[in-house]
Amino acid sequence: MSPRPVIRVIGSLNIDFVTRTPRVPGPGETLSATSMTVHPGGKGSNQAVACGKAAFTSPTSQDVVVEMIGAVGANDPYYASLLKPTLEKSGVSTAGVEEMEGVQTGTATIIVDEGANGENRILVVPGANARVDDLGKVMEAATKDGLPDVVVMQGEIPRSTVLGLLRAFNSPERKTCVIFNPAPMFPEGVPIDALQGLAVLVVNETECRQLFAAVEELNTVPVSRPDEIMTESELDRLTTYLHGKAGIRIVVVTLGSQGVYYSFETGDLLDRALIPAVKVERVVDTTGAGDTFVGYFATAVARHLARVKGLDNLNIREAVSRANEAAAKCVQRSGAMESIPFGYE
């Protein structure tokens, strides 16, 4: 039997304090909310859980190894009782999670607006995630026992670490399949040059607009307003630019209830399509929908790389469709990690 492919997720771990409310209070207003619950979260660990859960082909077999690399506060009871067990039950190794002295685990205060279809507003306090700033140390953890098949990264650890890792993993000598989800987008942005040689970029509509805001060459062409839905021709134009300028093989733009757009450069051809979202009866909480998508997609890529060297011939339509279905399941349940389905579901 060939060894299982390995995904290493390098990113944030948070404790989510989730308040559900019939509406969001205005300035100076106090309101009785519906409930407050505490959940494991953080974009990095949510995506690791999504990779781990996606890899369960039955309740007892997992065909992809998933490892989390990041940091939490030392002796944090929430890590011990909530985050760590949830990661492990989802098939994610926590050996690469450092428990740091003198700092708190990251937190997210999440307001779920029940009156606006479960839409959320999130305030993040980075805590230990901000201390994942020693590039050499992170690189050592990320390449321990050799290079992983897939590296997954987001925007909730320091920008200098993320850009340094992109440079290292995408260099011709160390060429690794990196899936980068710049969420949330760093306030200083991500220069297109830093994406040179990236295998997969996944952004939502907001991040997509932010990425292109600084690209002067595109400024002469009108881009839709933030309150408008991006058109397919606009997405075609922007992704063509990314394929050409940075050599990114796959660009995915998640479009919330509109579904997912993808563009895959295969040789001289561009395989691109818009896959509509799965129709759901009731949206309960959209937190973690994007993370579910990224994790499921990463697992599909890792499985492909276990069979074939390189991304050529990846069945991208199937990978995107399955991740789209998993994300639709996620929005119908409450919480981030708990709402992510197992692959066999």
Q: Which stretch binds ligand ATP (CB under 6 A): 48-56, 141-149, 208-216, 286-294?
A: 286-294
**Helices in 75-223 by DSSP H: which ranges?**
77-78, 84-89, 135-142, 159-169, 205-213
Side-chain half-sphere CA neighbours of 298 within 13 A = 38
Q: Which stretch binds ligand RIB (CB under 6 A): 40-48, 64-72, 88-96, 236-244?
A: 40-48
Does 175 count as an annotated binding residue? no
DSSP states along 194-221: GGTT-SEEEEEHHHHHHHHHT-GGGTTS
131 in contact with ligand RIB (CB under 6 A): no
Pairing of strands 150-153, 6-10: parallel
Q: Which residues pair with 14 in a beta bridge?
A: 41, 106
Q: Which of 336, 339, 340, 341 binds ligand RIB (CB under 6 A)?
A: 336
CB-based closest residue to ligand RIB: 41
Name which of 108 and 314 has its Cβ closer to ligand RIB: 108
Q: From the CB of 12, what's the least distance to ligand RIB, in Å? A: 6
Q: Which of 70, 288, 295, 341 binds ligand ATP (CB under 6 A)?
A: 288
Q: Which stretch binds ligand RIB (CB under 6 A): 36-44, 215-223, 254-262, 264-272?
A: 36-44
155 binds, among ligand RIB, ligand ATP, none (CB under 5 to 8 A by kind): none
343 in contact with ligand ATP (CB under 6 A): no
The answer to whether the beta carbons of residues 245 and 197 sit under 8 Å apart is: no
Residue 291's nearest CA partner among 164, 167, 159, 122 is: 122
Among candidate residues 227, 271, 291, 312, the one labeled active-site is: 291
Does 324 count as an annotated binding residue? yes
**Helices in the chain by DSSP H: which ranges?**
43-54, 77-78, 84-89, 135-142, 159-169, 205-213, 232-246, 289-307, 316-330
58 CB burial (10 A radius; 0-12, 13-18, 19+) = exposed
161 in contact with ligand ATP (CB under 6 A): no
Does 291 count as an annotated binding residue? yes
Give the interface with ligand RIB as residue ranges (CB under 6 A). Answer: 14, 16, 41-43, 46, 108, 122, 124, 156, 287-288, 290-291, 336
Question: Which residues are designated catalytic?
Answer: 291
